[in-house]
Chains A and B, each alone.
Chain A
């Protein structure tokens, strides 16, 4: 049973790391495994998780999207402005924000495929430019006074499950179907595994690459809107380093940075590890500086452990 499960995940190592972390924090502090705290953890990681699904698509094509952190800032501020300054209905503001996020993702894709600038550089440029843009449109100050009904998205519950968590789970479910059951998913793995062979098989690689950056933009846009609703104010300062957390979660989840290899289930575990770790360290009252050291070590340790455990299996 476990071996079948691990086969499905492509990596048992990550699962072991997650279980070890949970057991450790539970023993260290009994508050950790209380149900409120566990729900809190999954709510905290929902934005990371949603964006990580898009990043998984991108990295599977052997690309990278560094612009998601700045896009998060921009959409956060832009959506707030649309509601507060322009007085748009929340639904309309959300739709327009997501269109904007898709548009920016498409620009990433077009620059990468048409100007043939490597993804790392394209999205690095986009990251810097979008960060500036986010500060410009709000003059660098927070935007207050969001409509009451907008809060549902980030703060509401269905039963005992927070709305952001439901959106994240839906994103993972749809992402899994997209990757494993549709032609698009097959082509994504193909491009990451061998782009030229994929092109010579008659597949429109340009269109597929644009699509993954659009999806990365869209999903980050959704995460940004949820973030806005949770914070209850548009903040250009938040989400510093968000792109690195997202990439960390995806890599932790066993997705090869060279593309073509990795499963969405692994990424889900990677996201959970990130959440468990930061929550657990806060409960144990570890200082922020030490937290960073530990997070870096866990990333390296988990990936090394995973590599070693899969290599010896062969």
Chain B
């Protein structure tokens, strides 16, 4: 196409024990382009980004920077080449100010003394080039997530970066913050920076990317111009097969009320919340991040204290003061933050799945090993958890499989009410679809499901009913087919 590549990888292969993470992959990245990397979990995206930052070394292949061909590439080389990466977890010191973080390790000094004023001024200047107003003397811990991300970007800018890798940068952001992020990405591109953008979200990829590279099972599939492809082609390339119907057909729930929440109030929910969940119903909760959806399910689950109000399960009032009590009443929660609240990453698949059911799998507290293996193996089979052994540590699994393990843990308890908080966040298309199938199947067996999601199409496709939450209040309720993305979004944002 006439554009020289600023950075390219040629024939890169990287093997881990038992897995070929990257298999003979070659990609070119141009100056001033947003280049999206897409693919299912395990496709090799993060391995590739780690190779580009020098964090891991490829088994074979080369990295070409302009005329410079390198076989080995260390973090030091990446720094020299002005490559920086922003990960989902930030590398900021919360107790330091914005400017102190930006200049961490390369402080401006006169003699032994720090020149705070100069660093603040320079930080302000960099922020201004991005069109962001932010006091450089603010402590990072006081900033919302989106602004912390901006600090990361400014930190990269202070190094005069030419190539910026962003790994799922919007994962933790609210809708408004995502807009800010998009603007930043576009500004950076205009400044000539190459942006390698890793994302699961199709809408983002099409909004931002100039070109899109698809990886599948560690292999290069194709690099496409964003304006010459569409969503369905991309998904087909990622999955390698037609996905068929995304949302499985679902029968209409019965009339029996399974869960009734009456005038619930907690320190985090100052307005009374009341709603019902029927047997076999999937009840969607829509709303912006921070609107109070998580707080509602956590209160029902006994994870947060309740101030007033009643929770009834099948007409019987329950008094739940801790998650154990909720579990005993047949309520399960798949939490929003999978890594911090969902999985026990160092423990095995078997130990994770059986964790909430150990009491049933033991006699006088002695665990029945055989029974445990049998039960967990059957749930691994049932939920199609892709792992060679039950003894693998859950931390080594892909996001989708981790989520299925957390689900399996609750299915094993035979809970009747399942609270799913963003169950599809950060997992790939195929795994998402499997989660939809599992939810639909459970509902058809009579389980009541509360399904929180920030992806509106998901709620519209899956839920029998959708409640919209804004500012810790229920502001709308729609039966299946009544709502559109626009109406939900307007209610959620208060316009």
Contacts and interface: CB of A to CB of B under 8 A. Distances in A.
Interface string A118-162: 000000000000000000000000000000000000000000000
B324 A194 contact: no
Contacts of A189: 344, 347, 351
Interface centre among B301, B335, B346 (most CB of A within 10 A): B346
Closest 4 CB pairs of A and B: A202-B327, A183-B358, A202-B324, A182-B365
B344 A197 contact: yes
Contacts of B367: 181-183, 186
B200 interface: no
B243 interface: no
Given A186-B367, A196-B340, 12 more contacts: A183-B362, A186-B355, A190-B344, A190-B351, A193-B346, A197-B340, A197-B342, A200-B323, A200-B342, A202-B324, A202-B356, A260-B346
Given A182-B366, A186-B367, A197 B333 contact: no
A187 B365 CA distance: 11
B362 A198 contact: no
Interface string A158-199: 000000000000000000000001111011011001101111
A287 interface: no
B425 to A, nearest CB: 16
Contacts of B344: 189-190, 193-194, 197-198
A294 interface: no
B355 A194 contact: no
B326 interface: yes
Contact of A201 (B323, B340, B362): B323
Contacts of A186: 351, 355, 358, 367
B340 A193 contact: no
12 contacts: A181-B367, A183-B362, A186-B367, A187-B358, A190-B351, A194-B345, A196-B340, A197-B340, A197-B342, A200-B301, A200-B341, A203-B324
Contacts of A194: 340-341, 343-345
A113 interface: no
A245 to B, nearest CB: 28
B362 A204 contact: no
Given A190-B355, A202-B327, A197 B343 contact: yes
B324 to A, nearest CB: 4
- Interface size class of chain B, counting residues whose CB lies under 8 Å from the partner chain: 20 to 34
A261 interface: yes
Interface in B290-349: 301, 303, 322-324, 326-328, 333, 335, 340-347
A306 to B, nearest CB: 17
B346 A202 contact: no
A199 B323 contact: yes
A147 to B, nearest CB: 37
B347 A193 contact: yes
Which of A190, A193, A201 has most B Cβ within 10 Å? A201
A183 B369 CA distance: 11
B365 A201 contact: no
Nearest to A256: B346
Contacts of B327: 201-202
Contacts of B335: 197, 200
A189 B352 CA distance: 11
A187 to B, nearest CB: 8
Nearest to B303: A200
Contacts of B366: 181-182
